[in-house]
Homo-oligomer: A and B are copies of this chain.
Amino acid sequence: MAQTKQTKAVRGTGVREAAAQATRDSILKAATKVFARYGYDGGSIEKISSSAKTHDRMIYYYFGSKEGLFIAVLEGIYHRMDRAEATCAPDTADPVAALKTVIRFKIDYYRRHPEFVTLLNTENLHKGKHVAKSEKAVEYSSTAVDLIRDILDAGVAQGLFRADLRPRDVYLLIVSTAYFFTSNRHTLSAFLGESLETPEAVAAWERFVTDSVLRVVRADAAPLPVTA
């Protein structure tokens, strides 16, 4: 078909355009759910179309292909993540509190948006080939790291934080611990013999991560010297 309908910036909000947009949105929403639950290959077009209460054909009408739809889904979750991160926006005047807010936000966001996690894992299974095809996805990149940079800078200025930290590393430290806990909760629960899905387990993990990150960034302490 090729001539995929974009419909992104609908100006004349007539009845027809609104209905069309609704169809498009419902497909996108259903696809997000289905892909998150079953993965890319397991998420069949039929599962999506029936969940969206449309016909298979409309998916191709609006998104061109399964791959096109998946890319749109990825763009969607990245976009929403980015917006949520923007609304988080802690006050960098208090860098310790800000760091804590960020950690809490990350753990919370992944917990409440497991589809974000599974979709990202799915995309990694495919070696990031879909993200590579999207121009939008890259836009949302720097803001997250920039926030950490601002916080670290403020902490350093106040004499609280070490000056030798790369913001990207601290960002990754936080994200790893928050992401992994949600991403691998099923195998971990089986492996450790205890559920990681209870509110208590999550809260305990958040406390541990917060405490650990603050130990890492604080100014007046060194790690133990490695003897070997």
Contacts and interface: CB of A to CB of B under 8 A. Distances in A.
Interface of A: 1-3, 38-42, 46, 50, 55, 94, 96-97, 100, 118, 120-128, 131-132, 137-138, 140-142, 145, 160, 166, 168-169, 172-173, 175-177, 179-181, 183-193, 205, 208-218, 220-228
Q: Give the copy number.
A: 4
Contacts of A188: 172
Contact of A168 (B118, B186, B192, B214): B192
B218 A214 contact: no
Contacts of A210: 223, 226
Contacts of A55: 3
A224 B96 contact: yes
B94 A227 contact: yes
A171 to B, nearest CB: 9
Most buried by B among A55, A140, A224: A224
Nearest to A177: B176
Given A96-B225, A180-B179, A212 B216 contact: yes
B190 A138 contact: yes
5 contacts: A121-B183, A124-B186, A128-B190, A168-B192, A172-B180
A77 B92 CA distance: 45
A3 B46 CA distance: 10
Given A39-B39, A39-B40, A2 B123 contact: no
A212 B173 contact: yes
Nearest to A42: B41
A96 to B, nearest CB: 5
A131 B190 contact: yes
